[in-house]
Amino acid sequence: MSKYVNVDDLREIPISDFLARLGHHPARKSGKELFYHSMLRETKQDTPSLTVWDEGGKWIDRGGPNSTGIQGGSIVQLGLAYWPQLSFVEVLNKIKDTCDMQVSMIPAYKPVRSPTEQEQKGYTFELVRTQPIGRNFVLTKYLEARGILDVANGHLHEIYYRNRLDNENKSIFYAIGWKNDLGNWEFSNAKGFKSSIGKKGISVIPGNPSHAVLFEGYMDYLSWLKVNRPDPTPTAIVLNSIVQLKNAIERVKGIPIVDVYFDNDDPGRNCTQRLIEAVPQAKDRSGVYQGYKDYNDMLRDAINEHEIQHQRAGPKR
């Protein structure tokens, strides 16, 4: 990752173009203002609350801030609010990478139109089809890079979806998907864009009812599973979004053993503190990957180090 990104260069990028590259398009336009359904918070998708002024390079979410406390600002503040799990430097690089992505991977930007009443009540994405992992080269390489391809079977699927609110663009996109407790699909694509098809929720993987392990993301859960290979396997709960913390708390209140593996950043530590206050038997286990943001970061670093050592050792004679 580059250690230096010119912030002034990033601020020259139209915010609407940045959002379009992430798959977000305005619900309506009024003068020089573009109105979006907030992609930073859980909303009913009935009233667009996030406003963008491309000419001034500014945005504001009138519905309030998400867990980061950021409610508006420049493209940099938008990136910090969109990727709360990343550091400042990582966010700058993420914005740069997003705006440098190949044209074929960018959802096309279309002229703004007013959504119908039926569309306003629905969700942005709809499922086209699913298939087992290992068939899509890009997604397979993505899972390999995350170090979890060998434990992904039975947990993850390749999903293909489209933007149901954009009738002019028939493009089908693909991502890695998994189910939440509402029966809907959570997903992440190879570029790091995360969303859901239908309402978001926590994901619960049944196991030992007396022992629960909690993670912010599904990749961290699979990383923990690969490293530990527990027997018996505890019940695992993945937040999918830290706004789902309250739902997770309700699921683990009566469980005797609760291990928490949230991210080593301010939002993660805040969630851990809130959970332990509500569930006194819960234990913070983030020290296992001290020095890393999350479990998957530690796993990937260990895999890379192993490969380097293997290369240095050279072939056996």
Cα separation values, 280 from 211, 257, 268, Å:
14, 10, 17
**Is there a shared CATH topology between the 7-100 domain and the 202-316 domain?**
no
* CA–CA dist 21, 102 (Å, integer): 10
Question: pLDDT tens-digit profile of 145-175?
Answer: 999 999 999 999 999 998 877 766 678 899 9
At residue 123, the pLDDT reads: 67
Question: pLDDT tens-digit profile of 208-235?
Answer: 999 999 999 999 999 999 999 988 999 9
Residues 275 and 214 sit within 8 Å (Cβ to Cβ) = yes
pLDDT band per the 50, 70, 90 thresholds, residue 315: low
90: Cβ–Cβ under 8 A, 6 or more apart, which residues?
1, 83
Tokens of 56: 């001034």
Ordered alpha helix ranges (H), 42-194: 75-82, 88-100, 117-120, 137-146
Query: Does position 245 have pLDDT exceeding 60, yes or no?
Result: yes
Closest CA to 21 of 191, 243, 148, 158: 191
Helix (H, G, I), strand (E, B) or coil at 126: strand
Architecture of the 202-316 domain: 3-Layer(aba) Sandwich (3.40)
Query: Does position 306 have pLDDT exceeding 90, yes or no?
Result: no
- Strand pairing of 185-188 and 173-179? antiparallel
At residue 116, the pLDDT reads: 45
At residue 27, the pLDDT reads: 85
Question: pLDDT tens-digit profile of 107-159?
Answer: 343 344 444 444 334 567 889 999 999 999 999 999 999 999 999 999 999 99
Q: Which residues pair with 214 in a beta bridge?
A: 237, 260
> Which pTM value belongs to this model?
0.61
* CA–CA dist 298, 292 (Å, integer): 6
Query: Does position 311 have pLDDT exceeding 70, yes or no?
Result: no
Dihedral class, residue 311 (left if φ above 0, else alpha if ψ from -120 to 50, else beta): alpha
The CA radius of gyration of the chain, in Å to the nearest whole number, is: 20
Cα separation values, 232 from 206, 212, 285, Å:
11, 11, 19
- According to CATH, the superfamily of the domain at 7-100 is Zinc finger, CHC2-typedomain (3.90.580.10)
Question: pLDDT tens-digit profile of 33-73?
Answer: 899 988 888 766 667 889 999 888 899 998 888 888 899 99
Ordered by start, the domain boundaries in the chain are 7-100, 123-201, 202-316
At residue 93, the pLDDT reads: 85
At residue 308, the pLDDT reads: 52
Q: Which residues pair with 196 in a beta bridge?
A: 186
Question: pLDDT tens-digit profile of 14-24?
Answer: 898 888 888 88
